[in-house]
Chain A
Amino acid sequence: KNEVEQSPQNLTAQEGEFITINCSYSVGISALHWLQQHPGGGIVSLFMLSSGKKKHGRLIATINIQEKHSSLHITASHPRDSAVYICAVRWTGNQFYFGTGTSLTVIP
Chain B
Amino acid sequence: ETGVTQTPRHLVMGMTNKKSLKCEQHLGHNAMYWYKQSAKKPLELMFVYNFKEQTENNSVPSRFSPECPNSSHLFLHLHTLQPEDSALYLCASSPAGSGQFFGPGTRLTVL
Q: Which of B16-24, B60-68, B76-84, B95-103 contacts A (4 or more CB under 8 A)?
A: B95-103
The verdict on B90 contacting chain A, using a C-beta distance below 8 Å, is yes
> CB distance A33 to B42 under 8 Å?
no
Tell me the smallest distance from the CB of A6 to a CB of chain B, in Å: 9
**Which one of A96, A97, A100 has the highest number of Cβ atoms from chain B below 10 Å of its Cβ?**
A96
* A 30-80 contacts with B by CB, 8 A: 31, 33, 35, 40-45, 48
Tell me the smallest distance from the CB of B26 to a CB of chain A, in Å: 17
A contact residues, total (Cβ < 8 Å): 22
The verdict on A104 contacting chain B, using a C-beta distance below 8 Å, is no
- CB < 8 Å: which of A35, A48, A100 contacts B41? A100
> CB distance B102 to A96 under 8 Å?
no
> CB distance A94 to B104 under 8 Å?
no
Residues of B within 8 A of A (CB): 2, 31, 33, 37, 40-43, 45, 48, 50, 55-56, 88, 90, 92, 94, 96, 98-102, 104-105, 107
List 6 A-B pairs, Cβ < 8 Å.
A41-B104, A41-B107, A42-B104, A45-B100, A96-B100, A97-B42
Residues of A within 8 A of B (CB): 4, 31, 33, 35, 40-45, 48, 86, 88, 93-101
Q: A44-B102, A95-B56, A97-B42 are in contact. List 16 more A-B contacts (CB 8 A).
A: A41-B90, A42-B102, A43-B90, A45-B2, A45-B101, A45-B102, A48-B99, A88-B100, A93-B55, A94-B50, A94-B96, A95-B45, A95-B48, A98-B42, A99-B42, A101-B42
